[in-house]
Amino acid sequence: MWFYLIRSYIFWHLRKVIKWFLRKTTKLCELQRICYAQPVGACRTRSVEQSLRNSSSPQIRGLITVLDARASDRNYYSGRSILVPNAVSTITRVKRIDHCEYERFTNVLGQCVDNIWSYMQLVEEIKTSAAIQYDCSNDVHEKSLLLLWNELMPNNKLENRVTKQWQDIGFQGDDPKTDFRGMGILGLDNLVYFASKYTYLARCALSRSMHPIHGYAFAIVGINLTSMALGLVVDGSAKTHFYNKRNPSEYEDFNEFYCYLFWEFDKFWLNAKPKDLMEFATHREQFENTIRQKLEKSNTVFLIDVPLDNTTDMLDR
């Protein structure tokens, strides 16, 4: 306990001394050193984030409070075209950055700021979506659920809204609505996105999930993977992937991240050759660990390994 206190006290002061020394010798502030020295991607964005959050300047602290509030009210995306330039100009003013350095620095800093607070809003977006319960009286929800069926089972007509057929695509009972209890509409959105954008992959995974021994319940596993994806994004581990993508994160990027996880999990499960689906918890944990290990490497960015063009080709054949 005391050890931690003393250690963080020493670090705090040491950091200040080092920063002062570097500023005097390089004539650059910490943010500039990060933006110039580090290549574009997660490493740079994470360092900028840390530097901004550790800043003792009241203007920068105020700026962060405003941006945080916008992101947690899910108002950042709509105002980014004003918020980003404002943030950049506040920071350059506070840090008294030389005019000839201006443009090179502001572009990079702007990108980082946009990435940081887009990610933060993404966290809020998916948490909100997970909190929306599936509602049978909501047309949008119902249509989305039927779309899922049609994408996965184009040759089998759904006989009823409530039917045993739902178990064919891996729901637990006759009405999928109860299975969405924990992940809400986010779980449905993820499944529908996977089935409509990567239809070939989704159908592949579905047919493999029906294997008599090494099979699994497609939809239930899908909802469990939504929970895993949500966990990785909310605790910040997934920043590596989202910061390494060039564009700032949006809801669709979460869907893409999910599709990657699903496709990889399907392969992982098949490779593990489980005795039966009672082994799910163990393999799920191992799978999550491998994903976490990948996210610890600063250059990780997940790309689904089948190109989109091929999927339509394969469907036609």
Partner 1 sequence: MTLRLCACTQGLLSMLKRLRSSPDKELRILLLGLDNAGKTTLMKKLASEDVSHITPTQGFNIKSVQADGMKLNVWDIGGQRKIRPYWRNYFEFTDILIYVVDSADRKRVDETGFELNELLSDDKLAGVPVLVYANKQDLALAAKASEIAQELNLHLIRDRPWQIQACSGIRGEGIKEGLEWISQNVKKK
Instruction: Using CB under 8 A, list all residues that contact partner 1.
Output: 1, 4-5, 130, 167, 172-173, 178-179, 181-183, 187, 216-217, 220-221, 223-224, 226-227, 230, 276-281, 284
Query: Based on CB atoms, which residue is closest to partner 1, 101 or 135?
Result: 135
Query: Based on CB atoms, which residue is closest to partner 1, 223 or 259?
Result: 223
Q: How far is the CB of 109 from partner 1 (least distance, A)?
A: 32
Q: How far is the CB of 38 from partner 1 (least distance, A)?
A: 31
Q: How far is the CB of 175 from partner 1 (least distance, A)?
A: 9
Query: Based on CB atoms, which residue is closest to partner 1, 176 or 248?
Result: 176
Query: Based on CB atoms, which residue is closest to partner 1, 18 or 131?
Result: 131
Query: Based on CB atoms, which residue is closest to partner 1, 115 or 224?
Result: 224
Tell me the CA end-to-end span of the chain in Å, nearest whole number. Answer: 65
Q: How far is the CB of 180 from partner 1 (least distance, A)?
A: 9
Q: How far is the CB of 257 from partner 1 (least distance, A)?
A: 17
Query: Based on CB atoms, which residue is closest to partner 1, 113 or 229?
Result: 229
Distance, C-alpha 158 to centroid of its chain: 33
Q: How far is the CB of 313 from partner 1 (least distance, A)?
A: 33
Q: How many angstroms separate the Cα of 106 from the Cα of each of 11, 58, 90? A: 29, 20, 11
Q: How many angstroms separate the Cα of 136 from the Cα of each of 158, 162, 171, 293? A: 16, 11, 16, 40
Query: Based on CB atoms, which residue is closest to partner 1, 108 or 230?
Result: 230
Query: Based on CB atoms, which residue is closest to partner 1, 62 or 182?
Result: 182
Q: Taken in order 78, 79, 85, 87, is the CA torsion positive or negative?
A: negative
Task: Give dist(CA 291, CA 148) in Å, integer.
Answer: 27
Q: How many angstroms separate the Cα of 261 from the Cα of each of 106, 133, 161, 224, 267? A: 35, 23, 29, 11, 10
Q: How far is the CB of 31 from partner 1 (least distance, A)?
A: 28
Helix/strand/coil (H, E, C) string of 221-277? HHHHHHHHHHHHHHCCCCHHHHHHCCCCCCHHHHHHHHHHHHHHHHHHHHHHCCCCH
Helices within the chain (DSSP H only):
2-26, 30-37, 42-54, 58-72, 76-94, 102-131, 139-152, 184-197, 199-209, 218-234, 239-244, 251-272, 280-296, 308-316
Distance, C-alpha 281 to centroid of its chain: 22
Task: Give dist(CA 25, CA 169) in Å, integer.
Answer: 64
Judge contact between 101 and 123, C-beta under 8 A.
no
Q: How far is the CB of 219 from partner 1 (least distance, A)?
A: 9
Which residues 6+ apart lie within 8 Å of 127 measured at CB? 230, 234
